[in-house]
Amino acid sequence: MMFLMIAAIFTRPNTVGNVREVISKLIEQMEAAGWECRLDQYTAGYIGAKPYAGEIGLNIDQAIVLGGDGTLLSAAQYIPSGIPVLAVNLGNLGFLTTTTADQMEQTVARVLKGDYQILERSFITAFVRNKVPGVVNDPPISCFAMNDIVIKSQDSGRTLSFGITIDKQPVAHYRADGLILATPTGSTAYNLAAGGPIIYPTLKAVTITPICPHTLTFRPVVVPASVEIAITAGPSQLYIDGFDYGTIHQTDELICTGSERSISLIQPRHMPYFDVLRLKLGWGQ
């Protein structure tokens, strides 16, 4: 068979449900429509196939993610900007997912006909630099986040002393259990649980939300994604989209700003954002 288009399929280990059957049906449907399917190592493992040996996101036309929001966050690092992404929920909430396993066949059929809309979700980028002249971190920490960047104490019983500047202008010094820098996408995740605001997904903004601040005067702040946010926190742990990215040392500074990278999530037509909030989070009810 001559394949005209290429789709990359992603899952994660220990995904709930009859994953083998879901993957097999998806591949059969895609190949029948003339698509070549590249499988990541986890997807291939579920059906006893060989994973794609090269860079899975290179020169693809579409990505399909099977799992929940965590699977999508993990797969996002391999999916180039501008590639349509269909997220199929195999877990519980799946706030960012498009459809469920039961509705997957019908949804894929509509997507293959071009019957969908795209919602662009922006990223933020961060790197850690040592404030001591001439000292470079080894290995250097540089990353981007679709959801959030979180700084927390290495000792759950201790608080951190944070210093924040925006475009080199001092903003705040305070103590807290941690700090969240959230994208509009991540505003409905840890940020929301910590008392931060919901940010409309198409806005170019970053939310700075303290985790249990030890003062009544510092509250979440929303700033443009174009600014440079610099944070000092002392010895702490850095988490990007829930993944541990290592230690921030006493002499380190975390620099964060908006990223040119984005992800193009496939959404059903006529599904407004606030309908999704009401349906999946019970917002405003």
Of 40, 61, 69, 275, the active-site residue reads: 69
The question of whether 69 is a catalytic residue gets the answer yes
- C-alpha 256/C-alpha 226 separation (Å) is 10
Task: Give the residue numbers marked as catalytic.
Answer: 69
